[in-house]
Chain A
Amino acid sequence: MEKIIKGKAFVLGDNIDTDQIIPAEHLVYSLSDPEESKMYGKFALSGVPLIKSGLPDGSKAFIAGDNTESEFSIIIAGSNFGCGSSREHAPFALEKAGVKAIAAESYARIFYRNAVDGGFVIPYESTKKLIDKIKTGDEVEINLNTNHLKNITTGEEFNLNPLGDVLPIIEAGNIFEYARINEMI
């Protein structure tokens, strides 16, 4: 597993629900067909209202034009990220779009579990509000060894809560790999 994740930040506010991450009308696509599943990347975060898409200015497209992948690979968000339905399509869509990690103040439980157990994205909790410290487009770096997030653009560094008990599952890749390593299955 990569211990340093580097990329451009996309900044979002509080209460980003699963309908904003992947609107219900797109849930018809197959998750297992490699071509069809690219549609999830294409529509990732398409339900976020324009003015709140890419803070602080808003009106930034997460996915440019007809692309299925985003130029942003790290999401910075406020509290209660991923609230709403139990749809696993939400972290899946973010992974398809090329997102590697999220640093949010807090997560809705089912989204958090889905992100970890499915091995889609790494859900870090920030120890304080980051959405007014980082701008969409800033270069950021997350260090999994030290649990630090560095804003390379400004030079500022922030602490993240250690991943704790879920780290072994994240390191294994997903809950099934974890269970195989531990000879549970």
Chain B
Amino acid sequence: MGMTITEKILAKSAGKAKVEPGQNVWLNVDVLMTHDVCGPPTIDIWKREFGDRAKIWDKQKLVIFPDHYIFTQNPQANRNVDILRQFASEYNLPNYYDVGTDRYKGVCHIALAEEGYNIPGTVLFGTDSHSCTSGAFGMFSTGVGNTDAAFILGTGKIWEKVPESLKFTFDGELPNYLTAKDLILQVLGDITTDGGTYRALEFNGDAVYSMEMDERMTLTNMAIEAGAMNGIIAADSVTDKYVKERSQKEYEIFQSDNDAVYRSEFHYDTSKMEPLVAKPHSPDNKDTVRNVEGTKLTKCYIGSCTGGKLSDFKSAAKFLFGNEVNVPTFVVPASTYVAQQLEIETISGVSLKSIFENAGCVIAESSCAACLGGPMDTVGRAIDGEVIISTTNRNFPGRMGSKKSEVYLASPLTVAVSALTGVITDPRNFL
């Protein structure tokens, strides 16, 4: 009986020839990532538990990105960043990306990819539920709480239960009105918000391998919305090229065996799929854009680790080029690198940044911003009973701010055309 890619990577990390779903194993961690919300309590627990003997297991493997509550006057939020800064200078940490310096990167999951920390075949843990994003690089990555992170910080080890795998195969070409976001909203609608609990979601098929890394990350990012432990896409030449441009590290590429065992398998023909939304108030509340077309909007939002990558802005800009938005529209590049690229990438000689500015969008600085509501002064935060369409990943009550607001999750194409009309609109109307 063969093994899945997830099983192979966990076996290697645990120093075993073979592992099976349900088995608890102790893993050697390759990267521990934390940020401004969970970093300070993690450091507290590490100091409390290890006391005078507290030692960081491997400074090269600890990566810290302040990204959540950054551009705010909120004193507790700023105190958290101060704690990280002090910790980084006290221990002389090489991989701390401080706010207010040119090292500042923005949203952690995207910065991990850009800075060359995502390496096929490795194991990454992060104190953030969307740490599953890195699985797009053919690696195992998942989120943990502060206690587990503190344990890793001191030992480099952590236990994990080997997950069963679910396999999602997307065959066919991806039509120009669909993006990875539509695909993952379909999966969430089909398996619901606990369909992946303690499981791995493995993505496969021509449509997936035709995607660039940005788009693949949208699929793995939202694996946690099904409750999954990890999302994973085996590395190919596209992955290899992306990684080699950013890292000198040697790595091993793993593939699932042909006789690997899956709990269940799902097949989709992308040529028959439609643009989708997740209606308020759950990411699995799937509907077609056609069915909710005409819903009046008060705000549009393009940003976050799910929908604030360069590919997302390229998709949106195609529709916004030469047009003006009809409702307030916020553009929040996930990372400072993406923000720079908006000035460099062009359509017919016009930079993406100018396209968004000319269309009347508000362009904010890179951070998590209103994806999770944030302090009251956060740019794009949901107010009162607003109706918002957003490229983010969660629409639980109050997630983007006000508990009274209603949030629809959709692809950057659907959000862009809806921004132009002021009501939810199918991108096929504009093709």
A80 close to B227 (CB less than 8 A): yes
Q: What is the CA–CA distance of A106 and B229 in the complex, to the nearest angstrom?
A: 14
Is B21 at the interface (CB under 8 A from chain A)? no
The size class of the interface chain A forms with chain B is 20 to 34
Which of B50, B394, B396 has the most chain A CB atoms inside 10 A of its CB?
B396
Contact A114:B147 (CB < 8 A) given known A80-B227, A109-B227: yes
Instruction: Give min CB distance, A110 to chain B, whole Å.
Output: 6
Q: Pick the interface stretch among B138-146, B353-361, B405-413.
A: B138-146
Is A88 at the interface (CB under 8 A from chain B)? yes
Contact A32:B157 (CB < 8 A) given known A110-B144, A117-B148: no
A-B Cβ contacts below 8 A, count: 89
Q: Pick the interface stretch among B59-67, B101-109, B190-198, B312-320.
A: B190-198
- Please indicate the chain A residues that have their CB under 8 angstroms from the CB of B76 in the complex: 28
B227 close to A174 (CB less than 8 A): no
B398 close to A19 (CB less than 8 A): yes
Chain B residue with the shortest CB-CB distance to A166: B24
- Please indicate the chain A residues that have their CB under 8 angstroms from the CB of B12 in the complex: none
* One of B49, B198, B399 near A176 (C-beta < 8 A): B49
* One of B127, B155, B198, B396 near A84 (C-beta < 8 A): B396
A88 close to B193 (CB less than 8 A): no
- Please indicate the chain B residues that have their CB under 8 angstroms from the CB of A117 in the complex: 145, 147-148, 151
A24 close to B194 (CB less than 8 A): no
Is B333 at the interface (CB under 8 A from chain A)? no
Q: Is the interface of B mostly helix, strand, loop or mixed?
A: mixed
Interface string of A114-133 (1 = CB under 8 A from B): 10011000000000000000
Instruction: Give min CB distance, B198 to chain A, whole Å.
Output: 5
Is B172 at the interface (CB under 8 A from chain A)? no
Chain B residue with the shortest CB-CB distance to A84: B396
B143 close to A110 (CB less than 8 A): yes
Chain B residue with the shortest CB-CB distance to A79: B194
Is A87 at the interface (CB under 8 A from chain B)? yes
Q: What is the CA–CA distance of A84 and B396 in the complex, to the nearest angstrom?
A: 9
- Please indicate the chain A residues that have their CB under 8 angstroms from the CB of B394 in the complex: 84
Instruction: Give min CB distance, B426 to chain A, whole Å.
Output: 30
- Please indicate the chain A residues that have their CB under 8 angstroms from the CB of B148 in the complex: 113-114, 117, 175
- Please indicate the chain B residues that have their CB under 8 angstroms from the CB of A19 in the complex: 396-399
Interface residue ranges of B188-207 to A (CB < 8 Å): 193-194, 197-198
- Please indicate the chain B residues that have their CB under 8 angstroms from the CB of A15 in the complex: 193-194
Contact A83:B227 (CB < 8 A) given known A19-B398, A185-B50: yes
Interface residue ranges of B247-291 to A (CB < 8 Å): none
The size class of the interface chain B forms with chain A is 35 or more
Q: Is the interface of A mostly helix, strand, loop or mixed?
A: loop
B151 close to A83 (CB less than 8 A): no
Is B212 at the interface (CB under 8 A from chain A)? no
B44 close to A86 (CB less than 8 A): no
- Please indicate the chain B residues that have their CB under 8 angstroms from the CB of A61 in the complex: none
A86 close to B227 (CB less than 8 A): no
A87 close to B145 (CB less than 8 A): yes
Instruction: Give min CB distance, B233 to chain A, whole Å.
Output: 20
- Please indicate the chain A residues that have their CB under 8 angstroms from the CB of B397 in the complex: 19
- Please indicate the chain A residues that have their CB under 8 angstroms from the CB of B24 in the complex: 165-166
- Please indicate the chain B residues that have their CB under 8 angstroms from the CB of A106 in the complex: 194, 197
A84 close to B129 (CB less than 8 A): yes
Is A179 at the interface (CB under 8 A from chain B)? yes
User: 17 pairs across A/B with beta carbons < 8 Å?
Assistant: A15-B193, A23-B398, A24-B372, A27-B37, A80-B193, A84-B129, A84-B394, A87-B38, A88-B145, A108-B197, A114-B145, A114-B148, A117-B145, A118-B146, A175-B148, A179-B151, A184-B157
10 shortest A-B CB distances, which residue pairs? A88-B145, A114-B145, A80-B194, A118-B147, A165-B24, A86-B129, A176-B49, A28-B76, A86-B143, A88-B146
Given contacts A80-B227, A84-B394, A117-B151, 8 further A-B contacts (CB under 8 A): A15-B193, A19-B396, A83-B193, A86-B128, A110-B129, A166-B24, A176-B147, A179-B155
